[in-house]
Amino acid sequence: NAGVTQTPKFRILKIGQSMTLQCAQDMNHNYMYWYRQDPGMGLKLIYYSVGAGITDKGEVPNGYNVSRSTTEDFPLRLELAAPSQTSVYFCASSPRGTHEVNYGYTFGSGTRLTVV
């Protein structure tokens, strides 16, 4: 089982450049998420999706865009990269939980992005 696959694992961008972080899951999960993790700051939600064609902003959406054309894929687009976007980015997916059973999020292994 591949789970959640993120590419690339590492990337260095120059200020003003753009890039797309790829995320794919093969578990048929409806819910998908993008988080960023900065030292001492925990995980901050950027965008999330509850199904194909549906996306919504999280806590820190500025400077990012997403799309969800299929259940499997949830790419994150950075336009006009800034040093403040230097971070580790995690994609995650989950099925809908219940009170009794909750499988939580399955996270990818992360993309380490540096903007210089």
Partner 1 sequence: QKEVEQDPGPLSVPEGAIVSLNCTYSNSAFQYFMWYRQYSRKGPELLMYTYSSGNKEDGRFTAQVDKSSKYISLFIRDSQPSDSATYLCAMSGDFGNEKLTFGTGTRLTIIP
Give how many residues touch partner 1 by CB under 8 A: 28
Per-residue tokens: 73: 């894929």
Q: Which is nearer to partner 1, 48 or 64 (CB)?
A: 48
Burial of residue 7 (number of CB atoms within 10 Å: 0-12, 13-18, 19+): middle
**Is 32 near partner 1 (CB under 8 A)?**
no
Judging by DSSP bridges, how do beta strands 10-13 and 111-115 pair with one another? parallel
- Residues 86-115: x/- map of binding to partner 1 (CB under 8 A)? ----x-x-xxxx-xx-xxxx-xxxx-----
- Residues 49-68: x/- map of binding to partner 1 (CB under 8 A)? -x-------x----------
**Is 4 near partner 1 (CB under 8 A)?**
yes
**Is 74 near partner 1 (CB under 8 A)?**
no
Q: Angle at Cα 54 formed by Cα 79 and Cα 18, nearest 5°?
A: 10
Cβ(34)–Cβ(97) below 8 Å? no
Strand ranges, E, within 26-74? 31-38, 42-51, 54-57, 64-66
Considering the complex, what minimum distance in angstroms separates the CB of residue 80 from partner 1?
27
Q: Which residues bind to partner 1, rule: CB under 8 A?
A: 4, 31, 33, 35, 40-43, 45, 48, 50, 58, 90, 92, 94-97, 99-100, 102-105, 107-110
